[in-house]
Amino acid sequence: MPPLSTSAIGIRHPAYRFRCVACGHLSDHASQDFRCSTCEDKDLLEITYPQWQESCPDISRLKSAWQQRRLSQSAIDRSGVWRFRDLLPPLTNADSVITLREGNTPLYELPRCARITGVPRLFGKHQGLNPTGSFKDTGMTVAATFARLAGFRWVACASTGNTSASMAAYAARGGMRSLVLVPDGKISWSKLSQALDYGSVTCQLRTDFDGCLRLLQELVLRAPVYQLNSINPFRLEGQKTLAIELLEQFDWQPPDHIIVPGGNLGNSSAIGKALIEMRDLGLISRLPKLSIIQAEGANALVRTLRETGGKRLISVHAETRATAVRIGNPASWKKAVHVLEATAGACEQVSEIEIAQAKAEIGAEGIGCEPASAVALAGLKKLLQQGFVKPEESVVLVLTGNLLKDPDYTMDFHRGALFNGTPDEIAAAALNPLRRPPIVLDATLDAVLRTLEEAEKIL
Ligand code: F0G
């Protein structure tokens, strides 16, 4: 590969600018690593829209255009991301979009979880129903589109699994090659198999996610490869549409709380950015509280807030069975601290047992999600205990990934093997009533009838 000039990646448009989250420096272009070229911290960039200050978009026209596009047959209108393109970096050509009809995800009522938690107005925004099974698709359609517009042949990411599955799909659809860096042995087979099937060059590195991301940051400065991690601000612009679509589903009446799991902290940052922009544009009159929940074993943001008041990142060595959030050095921590402050949200951590229980409870709703998503329900229980969430308030849990993303976890749970050999082994017995292990029987009517009778007693 030819060496690369790292000065700019050639994306220039008068409608938006890149702004450093640390020093505020504004620029009309970004370098290959999407980091500030002027400040000492070399901090992350975000996309801003100076034109909104000069002439605020007409809100009622926007709302009706977004509704109208639902009825259109064109790919860009049918995408639940590009339908909201008025709040995204503009495209010069609508045909340039790489889309798999992402977004348009359901907002489910969660009546069983509502009874368990005592919060009647409890909802799940199921991002696991995106084309590759996670919220990543909403960001990937935007970032992959801009990668191709910028002339890149190669895209790359470090991943705990979902980003790589999504990137691989969008790269393939867009006719680009893709390079995946994942931690060896620490991601689910389902996610890895997606990247393989979509044709990525997939490298299992003998390190963790944080090691993969560090290496990627160096790689993009040496090779003409466009990085599609959430460090890439175009990704976060696409992920904003989760919140826009959610508010549209609530008829622009904000819920009291939105609760989201936190790993590398891109998603929470994107949702928070969307909420703030919608408030500033007058689409909503007040901000929901956005809270971020982490697994206890991957609690960098929790510790950062408790030990430094959000001033300095405390990295951790991450360990959790919710492998999607097995991240110890979250890249977007400053953005996350900002949105927590701006929306007056909370940040909490939950144990492995609490995650397993919440996942089974969401499964029993007939919805299901992957372990990292269940972190949000486990977190809600904590926030209720602390009085931060009141039972009469409305709460949305962001379910980030599909149940089928991690079948090993689900099987281990129901077979009673999830906590074998861990310090939680004895305490995990409390979860037995939620387990539904498969039952092996002789193929006789009697055997099945007896099983039915037994089951009737416990349901
Ligand atoms: N939930 C799921 C299912 C995820 O895959 C991730 C992150 C998160 C939550 C956390 O989101 O990083 O934006 O705070 N997955 C990454 C990946 C990092 O590589 O797939 P975040």
Confidence of residue 7 (pLDDT cuts 50, 70, 90): very low
**Given ligand 1 and candidates 325, 335, 375, 377, which is best to mutate, with the most ligand atoms within 8 Å of its CB?**
325
Q: At 292, phi and psi to the nearest 5?
A: -115, 130
The verdict on the CB of residue 267 being under 6 Å from ligand 1 is yes
Q: Closest Cα partner for 301 from 345, 270, 337?
A: 337
Q: What is the mean pLDDT of residues 432-443?
A: 96
Has residue 372 been placed in a domain? yes
What does the block give as tokens for 334? 């400053």
**pLDDT for 22-70, tens place per residue?**
999 999 999 889 999 998 889 999 999 998 888 888 999 999 999 999 9
Residue 411 counted as domain residue: yes
Cβ distance 86 to 57 under 8 Å? yes
pLDDT tens digits for 132-184?
999 999 999 999 999 999 999 999 999 999 999 999 999 999 999 999 999 99
Query: In degrees, to the nearest 5, what angle opens at C-alpha 133 toward C-alphas 129 and 139?
Result: 95
Same domain assignment for residues 307 and 265:
yes
Express each pLDDT in 75-110 by its tens digit.
Answer: 999 999 999 999 999 998 889 999 999 999 999 999
Where would I find the beta strands (DSSP E) of 249-378? Answer: 257-261, 289-295, 347-350
Contact 166, 99 (CB under 8 A): no
**Do 297 and 380 belong together in one domain?**
yes
Q: What is the Cβ-side half-sphere exposure of residue 394, based on CA atoms within 13 angstroms?
A: 13
**For residue 1, what pLDDT band results from cuts at 50, 70 and 90?**
low
Report which residue type is found at 83.
R
268 and 398 inside one domain: yes
What confidence score (pLDDT) does residue 93 get? 87
Q: Which of 178, 239, 267, 292 most suits a substitution to test ligand 1, by most atoms within 8 Å of the C-beta?
A: 267
Mean pLDDT (whole number) for 224-245? 97
Q: Where are the alpha helices (DSSP H) in 364-405?
A: 371-385
Rg (CA), the chain: 22
Enclosing H/E stretch for 204: strand 201-205
| Domain interval for residue 168 | 134-233
Residues 163 and 133 sit within 8 Å (Cβ to Cβ): no
In a domain, 379, yes or no: yes
Structural domain count of the chain: 3
Q: Does 245 lie in the same domain as 112?
A: yes
- Is the pLDDT at 320 greater than 80? The verdict is yes
The answer on 223 and 190 residing in a single domain is yes
Percent of the chain whose pLDDT exceeds 70: 97
188 lines ligand 1 (CB under 6 A): no
Angle at 106 between CA 102 and CA 112, to 5 degrees: 145
Structure tokens, 98: 């790489």
At 399, list the tokens.
């379910």
CATH number at residue 346: 3.40.50.1100
Type of residue numbered 143: A
Specify the pLDDT at position 9.
55
* Residues 196 and 126: beta-carbon distance below 8 Å: no
Q: Are 205 and 351 members of one domain?
A: no
User: Which is the closest atom of ligand 1 to the Cα of 370?
Assistant: 3
- Work out the average pLDDT over 186-201: 96
Asked whether 98 and 173 are in contact (CB, 8 A), the reply is yes
In the prediction, which pLDDT does 200 show? 98
Name the CA dihedral angle for 203, 207, 208, 209, rounded to a multiple of 10 degrees: -40
202 has which bridge partners?
180
Confidence of residue 381 (pLDDT cuts 50, 70, 90): very high
Candidate from 39-43, 219-223, 287-291, 381-385 with smallest mean pLDDT: 39-43
- Ligand 1: centre distance to CA 263 (Å): 6
Tell me if 157 CB under 6 Å of ligand 1: no
* Same structural domain, 83 and 139: no
Q: Is 401 touching ligand 1 by the criterion CB < 6 Å?
A: yes
235 HSE (CA, 13 A, CB side): 27
Q: Let me know how many helices (H) and strands (E) the chain has, helices first.
A: 16, 13
What is the C-alpha to C-alpha distance for residues 189 and 194, in angstroms, rounded to an integer?
9
What is the pTM for the complete model shown? 0.96
d(CA 224, CA 151): 10
The response to whether residue 255 sits with its C-beta less than 6 Å from ligand 1 reads no
Q: Determine which residue's CA is closest to atom 3 belonging to ligand 1.
A: 401
Contact of 76 with 82, CB cutoff 8 Å: yes
Residue 446 lies in a domain: no
Q: Is 230 in the pocket of ligand 1 (CB under 6 A)?
A: yes
Quote the tokens at residue 3.
């060496």
- Of 177, 210, 233, the position where a domain reaches its end is 233
Kindly state if the Cβ of 269 falls inside 6 Å of ligand 1.
no
Cα-based distances in Å from 371 to 71, 89, 167, 300:
35, 33, 21, 18
Q: Does the beta carbon of 264 lie inside 6 Å of ligand 1?
A: yes
- Other CB atoms within a 10 A radius of the CB of residue 169 amount to 28
Measured in Å, residue 130 CA sits from the centre of ligand 1 at 14
How far apart are the CA of 271 and the centre of ligand 1, in A? 13
The residue from 50, 74, 96 where one domain ends is: 96
Q: How far is the CA of 211 from the centre of ligand 1 (A)?
A: 16
Residue 11 lies in a domain: no
Q: Parallel, antiparallel, or unpaired: how do β-strands 122-126 and 107-109 relate? A: antiparallel
Angle between helix 136-149 and 233-249 (nearest 10) = 140
Q: Is the CB of 379 under 6 A from ligand 1?
A: no
Ligand 1, residues 400, 403, 405: which to mutate, most atoms within 8 A of Cβ? 400
Q: Stretch 212-216: mean pLDDT, rounded?
A: 97
Is 457 part of any domain?
A: no
- Specify the length of the chain in residues: 459
What is the CB-side half-sphere exposure of residue 284 using CA atoms within 13 A?
23
Would you place residue 339 in the very low, low, confident or very high pLDDT band (cuts 50, 70, 90)? Answer: very high
Which is the closest atom of ligand 1 to the Cα of 263? 14
Domain match, 213 and 277 both: no
Cβ-Cβ contacts under 8 Å for 441 (sequence gap 6 or more): 447, 448, 451
Residue 437 lies in a domain: no
Same domain, 192 and 247: no
Q: Does any domain span residue 262?
A: yes
Which atom of ligand 1 is least distant from the CA of 327? Answer: 18
Q: Are residues 255 and 184 in the same domain?
A: no
When the pLDDT of each residue in the chain is averaged and rounded to a whole number, the result is: 95
Domain termination site, one of 177, 205, 233? 233
CA 75 to chain centre: 23
Sheet with strand 257-261: strands edge to edge: 107-109, 122-126, 395-399, 257-261, 289-295, 347-350
Residue 2 above 60 pLDDT?
no
CA atoms of 296 and 282, how far apart (whole Å) = 37
440 alpha carbon to ligand 1 midpoint, in Å?
A: 36
328: Cβ below 6 Å to ligand 1? no
pLDDT in tens, 342-353: 999 999 999 999
Check whether residue 314 and residue 348 sit in a common domain.
yes
Decide: 348 in ligand 1 pocket, CB within 6 A: no
Q: Is the CB of 262 under 6 A from ligand 1?
A: yes
Report the share of the chain in percent with pLDDT over 90. Answer: 92
Q: Based on the fold, state whether residues 216 and 322 are members of the same structural domain.
A: no
- Determine if ligand 1 sits within 6 Å of the CB of residue 239: no
Separation of first and last alpha carbons in the chain: 62
* CA atoms of 294 and 316, how far apart (whole Å): 12
